[in-house]
Amino acid sequence: MNGIFYTNAVYDYQTIEVSDGHKLYVEQSGNPEGIPLIYMHGGPGAGLGKNYQWPFNPLKYRVIGVDQRGCGRSTPFGDTLNNTTELLIQDFEFIRKHFNIDKWIVFGGSWGSTLALLYAINNPRAVISMVLRGVFLARKEDFDWFLLPTGCAAQIYPEAYEEFSSHISDKSSSDIVCKQFISLFENPDNNLSFPALKAWFNWEGYISRLIAPNVMMSDLSTDKHIKSLALLECHYLLNKCFVAENYILDNIDKLYDIPCHIVHGRYDMVCKLEAAYSIKKALPHATLKVVNNAGHSMSETGIANELTRIMNEMFESGARF
């Protein structure tokens, strides 16, 4: 990555019990007196990555990072019971009140963008502004794009899709794909379940960058990370992310008064650029930067530069809270 990227030291971390026996790992970094910002990670199930705070000037922002239910350092790990989108939104609101924060910036990429939009729809008065990267709207067309042989991802990366889908026999619908993978994930024989977990994990990793990696992403990740992302992502997609079809666009009027900044890679194979464009059309006041030399990953240079620029300009323009 080029440009100015920041190093944020964690100054506070704790485990917060929310509901249904779930305990969330929550950490804070940056300036305790800075503008509050909630970082909503992707996946579902990706957890907080290393150095995820690099877009945020530590002198200006108070960054709150949360490992969502079932992943990262939250417990119970890998648990799909009582793990729904509505409960994740409630968790974020619980954390806001726990820290006595009046309003905060909502920052999310990929699945995190879905959560950011849904959180803002449900809690518009608690949001200073939204920063979205790689928008995912959780519609049938978004699931099909990612999971089916007719989807754009499979059409652009047929060899990677062939490896991904070699573990299943029926690819006629997104639901059927997910059901077969869940069956494999839950198989008590680890010689069957873990290869399927890796296949799911590597499929997303392979198509996440404009230039496909030379190594399998599972070789660079822990078994724990592989399991949580594959299992929880499949759980959510099987349940249509617990969101009614087109719910976000149907409720976009709740966001008319919230500043919104969107960054999306032109060649994003995980999340359709059309989704970001649809948000921009529905919210004329929003800004949309399409990065022509990027795919899905937050770490790609063009996307990284734009996110850092937005966060610096937002502070300089006087974000209010």
Co-location of 176 and 117 in the same domain? no
* Catalytic hit among 110, 218, 228, 278: 110
The whole-angstrom separation of Cα 280 and Cα 259 is 11
Q: CB under 8 Å to 75, separation ≥6 — which residues?
A: 15, 22, 23
Does residue 162 surpass a pLDDT of 60?
yes
pLDDT of residue 212: 76
Examine the residue annotation and report whether 296 is marked as an active-site residue of this protein.
yes
Number of domains comprising the chain: 2
Q: 261 has which bridge partners?
A: 131, 287
Q: Convert 269-294 to b/e letters by CB count within 10 Å (16 or more is b).
A: bbbbbebbebbbebbeebebbbbeeb
Same domain? 17 vs 114? yes
> Is the per-residue pLDDT at 321 higher than 50?
no
Average pLDDT value for residue range 97-111: 98
Q: What are phi and psi of 80, to 5 degrees?
A: -95, -10
Same domain, 81 and 198: no
Does 79 share its domain with 225? no
pLDDT band for position 3 (cuts 50, 70, 90): low
Going by the DSSP 8-state scheme, the letter that residue 75 receives in this structure is B
Same domain, residue pair 128 and 261: yes
Q: Which amino acid, 128? A: I
Percentage of residues of the chain with pLDDT beyond 70? 97
Asked if residue 153 and residue 219 are part of one domain, the reply reads yes
**pLDDT tens-digit series, residues 223-281:** 999 999 999 999 999 999 999 999 999 999 999 999 999 999 999 999 999 999 999 99
**What's residue 46's pLDDT?**
96
Region of residue 11 (left: phi > 0; alpha: psi -120 to 50; beta: else): alpha
Same domain? 291 vs 206: no
Whether 268 is catalytic is yes
For residue 1, the model assigns a pLDDT of: 45
4 within a domain of the structure (yes/no): no
Residue from 41, 235, 261, 296 carrying the catalytic annotation: 296
Indicate if 22 belongs to the active site. no
Picking from 209, 241, 273, the residue at the C-terminal end of a domain is 241
- 34: domain CATH number is 3.40.50.1820
Q: Do 202 and 78 have their domain in common?
A: no
Range of the domain at 226: 140-241
Instruction: Say if residue 211 is in the same domain as residue 307.
Output: no
Confidence of residue 319 (pLDDT cuts 50, 70, 90): low
The pLDDT of residue 192 is 81
CA–CA distance, 171 with 146 (Å, rounded to integer): 12
Query: Locate tokens 């966001």: which residue?
Result: 255
Largest CA distance in the chain: 56
> pLDDT value at position 274?
98
In a domain, 67, yes or no: yes
Whole-number Å distance between alpha carbons of 141 and 166: 22
Does residue 1 fall inside a structural domain? no
Q: Indicate the residue among 241, 273, 305 that finishes a domain.
A: 241
Q: Look at residue 34 and tell me whether its pLDDT is greater than 80.
A: yes
Residue 90: predicted pLDDT: 98
Statement to judge: residues 156 and 25 lie in one domain:
no
SS3 string, 277-295, reads: HHHHHHCCCCEEEEECCCC
User: Do 103 and 248 belong to one domain?
Assistant: yes
